[in-house]
Amino acid sequence: MNTAYPNLSQILRVSLPALLLAQFLIWPIIGLSLPYIGIIAAEMTLLWFMALHIRRYRLSSENLLLLNATPISTLLLTIPIAICCSLVVAELDLHIANLLTILDLEMPLSFQKNLLELQIFNEITEVPGGLTALVLVPAFCEELFFRGFVLSGLYTHYGPRWALFGSALLFAASHFNPWQFIPLFIFGLFLGALVYWTHSIYPALFAHAINNLASVAGINLRTHWGIEELGPTQHLPIAMTLCAALALLAGLFLLSRQVAIMPLSIGKKTSAELPSAGPPSFN
């Protein structure tokens, strides 16, 4: 058994308390009065619990979190792929929302209102703090946790399929938003695939930030300038959706053919775990 990576039981013991604490204690106490600070505090809760686990078991953060170097060409290719994925997932989200409305299971208006208002900048001075809280911090914290800590652990103990599926499932559930569970799950699979193919956390972190930025930009363009094309309630033309989907598939194929700088070392025994002639290690 590879003890250098967390198993499912350990992952759940870290993630469930962190997510419940962030959603039902930290956010109500801080976020309702100071939304941006509340988001940052809630997101950092994931890293705090993860760091405690890493320290307790003396794990290698670099290997566990896949902090491997990435070619510039891979990061540049990630940009159009992430944009296309954002368009396709957003379109899917709209279709699911329409279906839920028909079934009388639509997202409550109060929930929709809170999600939208959280992303709207009323003053130019709100932009730096808003981009930090809505774009950068969630991408950084969630990728290190779900595509680093969770995916690496599941990959080691259960293989790549369960790693991709399990990390995406936990990622979608962590948002406590059942109305958007399917788009979040698919986006989680996409981010996991980026990590799996590139052997690094950075492309997924980059793509996550691009998706968040596209969402915030679309809402503010619609609110302040009346530009509906990228808004959260406007369907894309069918031709544009198809082009985005085809470009996404082509981009993922090219990305899967890129040569990674570092091997995918998760699941392999570290030097500390290999047999030796010396005294036993208790690390």
263 exposed, middle or buried (CB, 10 Å; 0-12, 13-18, 19+)? exposed
In a domain, 57, yes or no: no
Tell me which residue range forms the domain holding 197: 65-256
The mean predicted confidence, pLDDT, of the chain is: 89
In a domain, 272, yes or no: no
CA angle (193 as vertex; 152, 4 as ends), nearest 5? 10
Q: Residues 168, 188: contact at Cβ < 8 Å?
A: yes
Q: Which residues contact 191 (CB under 8 A, 6 or more apart)?
A: 143, 146, 147, 168, 171, 204, 207, 208
Q: Given this model, what pLDDT does residue 276 score?
A: 33
Q: Given this model, what pLDDT does residue 3 score?
A: 75
Write out pLDDT tens, residues 234-247.
Answer: 788 899 999 999 99
What type of residue sits at position 218? G
Q: For residues 50-73, b (16+ Cβ closer than 10 Å) or e, as one string?
A: beebbeeeebeeebbbbbbebeee
Write out pLDDT tens, residues 111-153.
Answer: 989 998 999 999 999 999 999 999 999 999 999 999 999 999 9
SS3 category, 204: helix
Distance CA 272, CA 283 (A): 8
In a domain, 84, yes or no: yes
pTM summary value = 0.91
What type of residue sits at position 94? L
In a domain, 53, yes or no: no
Write out pLDDT tens, residues 213-261.
Answer: 999 998 998 888 877 666 566 788 899 999 999 999 999 999 998 888 7
Q: Residues 46, 19: contact at Cβ < 8 Å?
A: yes
Q: Given this model, what pLDDT does residue 271 score?
A: 36
* Structural domain count, the chain: 1
In a domain, 73, yes or no: yes
Write out pLDDT tens, residues 71-116.
Answer: 999 999 999 999 999 999 999 999 999 999 999 999 999 998 999 8
In a domain, 110, yes or no: yes
Distance CA 175, CA 173 (A): 5
In a domain, 137, yes or no: yes
Q: Which residues contact 149 (CB under 8 A, 6 or more apart)?
A: 6, 11, 14, 50, 53, 64, 65
SS3 category, 65: coil
Q: Residues 51, 64: contact at Cβ < 8 Å?
A: no
